[in-house]
Amino acid sequence: MSIIRWNPVRDPWLEMKRAQEEMDRLFRSLWSNDETGRGAPGLFPAMNLSADKEQVKIRCEMPGVPQEKIDLSIDRDTLTIKGQRELEQKGSDVSYHRRERRGGYFNRTLSLPFEVDPEKASAKYSNGVLEVTVQRAEASKPRQVSIKVD
């Protein structure tokens, strides 16, 4: 049996804190918007979804994406948006100090709160904002059931 002398430099609590900071840094870089891991977390395009008894409205912000590069599809209760955003290329005389906007292909799939009718969908794209309105499918609308007494 040997005695191990306690060394304050190797404090286990400091080692645990260092490991936690490394894990935080790793996850921040995985979910950030830029290559350095310093951007705000999030997905592209940013979406808002609202629904009432009759329809679903989706609003997607896609600055810099031309309309002809957007593909929108709806299948029952799933909406998929695919597209491509091209950003300016880094020139030989340009050095970025911060680059949070990404370019390239994107693909977002969103589950809707109920089944919708793709035939009753409309979409409008203006100033980098896509607004999609889809009517609820008749089969998914709630029905009133009458109760009979014997």
The string of pLDDT tens digits covering residues 64-95 is 899 999 999 999 899 999 999 887 766 677 77
Same domain? For 56 and 112 the reply is yes
Q: pLDDT tens-digit profile of 3-32?
A: 766 666 666 777 788 788 888 877 766 655
- Is 51 inside a domain boundary? yes
Residues 72 and 80: beta-carbon distance below 8 Å:
yes
Residues 108 and 44: beta-carbon distance below 8 Å:
yes
Q: What is the pTM of this model?
A: 0.64
Whether omega before 45 lies within 30 degrees of 0, making that bond cis, reads yes
- Is 17 inside a domain boundary? yes
Residue 36 pLDDT level (bands cut at 50, 70, 90): very low
Question: Residue 123 belongs to what domain range?
Answer: 43-87+104-140
Q: Which of 113, 130, 111 is nearest to 122 (CA)?
A: 130
CATH number of 60's domain:
2.60.40.790
- Is 145 inside a domain boundary? no
User: What pLDDT does 33 receive?
Assistant: 47
In the chain, how many domains are there? 2
Same domain? For 83 and 14 the reply is no
Residues 81 and 45: beta-carbon distance below 8 Å:
yes
User: What pLDDT does 40 receive?
Assistant: 43
CA-CA distances (angstroms) from residue 79 to 38, 51, 57, 60, 135? Answer: 30, 14, 11, 12, 13
Q: pLDDT tens-digit profile of 94-140?
A: 777 787 777 888 899 999 999 999 999 999 999 999 999 999 998 88
